[in-house]
Amino acid sequence: MIANEKVKPGGSQNKRRRRKLKHFNHLLKTDLIPRKRNYEFANKTFGERNSFAKTDTDATFMRMKEDPMKNGQLKPGYNLQVASQNQYALYFDLFQRPTDTRTLIPFLSNIFAQTPNASRYVVADAGYGSEMNYQFIADDLERDFLIPYGMYEKEQTRAYHKDKRKVANWDYDEHNDCYTDLDGIEFRFHNYSVRHDRYGTERKFKVYWAVDYFEDPRRQVLATTQSGRPRQISINANWEYFKNKAKEQLSSEIGRQVYGQRKIDVEPIFANLKAHLAFKRFSVRGLSATWNEVGIALMANNLIKLAKVSVNLKGYGQKQEGNSRFVRISFLFFIEFELCPELFLFGKKHRPLLAGVE
């Protein structure tokens, strides 16, 4: 027993060993084990996200438009998605993902599961334009989309059409499956390539290599990179198809008319929430509680608009017919039959109430 050991010159080896074991035991109990539990809790809370707030673990750190410090500070919040017709919020949902692109498919899936004939057109801004979203709307939902992609506006400029580096400005020989750039360098098909992004989405590319011009040194320089390798281009045929389809639908007469209504249809909903209802931040925490709160706010916004429409129709009915029955019939007709067949989408990030902030 260590307690019965006699005092020895230089100290007891057993006591030194005991002190070391005690130190390790104390380190395990006070540091390593609690730290491991925190890591396990954090990994479980993260899910598919890369961050969460300690004051509200359901909230994700996002970059907000309201940035008083002008330093791009990240703040915890939720991404609110709303689908509207005639400035009425018909569907909404809250997401923990900061980007609008990855919210479109689950949002539309929920909408069309509830109402299969919800709309003919899906209208949204360029933040929703992606190959995956286009393919889902066209193939799975079998609907038309009026959604520009990120480079849509830039591709309409004169500078873009004169840029010889853009493959869209090159000549394509469909019979020989080859591209020729504005310098006369020919690119022929070499191989297929499959790539996956960080979310697991698969994209298929056709890779083209520049032809060797050994007999023409000037063209050989244009056909190779600075390291001496042949120049390559990768073409995603599926993405190019949906880009052309988006251009065709957006440039059509009905496409221009419908897309022109997007800003005056869905964005006023968020303006009314902020300006008239002073709804700029959630007063509760947790995904379920915040979902209920924003639903009540959108319901109140719809009721305010309905009340204004009712007053206008009432005055019009009294002026024309002089009885209330005409007012009720006109009001029902407006609600049931005057809704447009387009579904306008918009996303907005809202912050939850933080601890110590009123």
Cα separation values, 327 from 230, 245, 302, 337, Å: 74, 44, 19, 15
Question: 213: closest CA among 191, 255, 184?
Answer: 184
How many of the other CB atoms lie within 10 Å of CB of 316? 13
Q: How many domains are contained in the chain?
A: 3
Task: Give the full edge-to-edge strand order of the sheet including 171-173.
Answer: 171-173, 178-180, 186-196, 202-210, 232-235
Q: What pLDDT is recorded for position 214? A: 87
| H or E stretch at 217 | helix 217-223
Same domain, 341 and 192: no
Same domain, 185 and 69: no
Same domain, 158 and 232: yes
Query: Consecutive 10-residue runs of the chain (358 residues): their mean pLDDT?
Result: 69 80 93 94 89 91 82 88 90 91 93 88 92 95 93 93 93 94 94 90 94 90 92 95 95 91 88 89 91 93 88 61 35 31 64 42
Q: Is position 248 within any domain?
A: no
Same domain, 235 and 318: no
Please, is 137 exposed, middle or buried when counting C-beta atoms within 10 Å of its C-beta (0-12, 13-18, 19+)?
buried
Q: Is position 19 within any domain?
A: yes
Query: How far separated are the first and last CA of the chain, in Å rounded?
Result: 62
Q: Is position 268 within any domain?
A: yes
Same domain, 26 and 174: no
Q: Is position 196 within any domain?
A: yes
Q: What pLDDT is recorded for position 117? A: 85
344: containing domain: 61-149+256-350
Same domain, 144 and 168: no
Same domain, 276 and 334: yes
Q: What does residue 191 show for φ and ψ, rounded to 5 degrees?
A: -165, 170
Q: Is position 357 within any domain?
A: no
Same domain, 6 and 87: no
Same domain, 260 and 111: yes
What global pTM score does this model have? Answer: 0.81
Vertex 294, ends 293 and 299: CA angle to 5°?
100
Q: Is position 104 within any domain?
A: yes
Same domain, 6 and 136: no
Same domain, 67 and 192: no
Q: Is position 80 within any domain?
A: yes
Cα separation, 211 vs 299, in Å, equals: 63
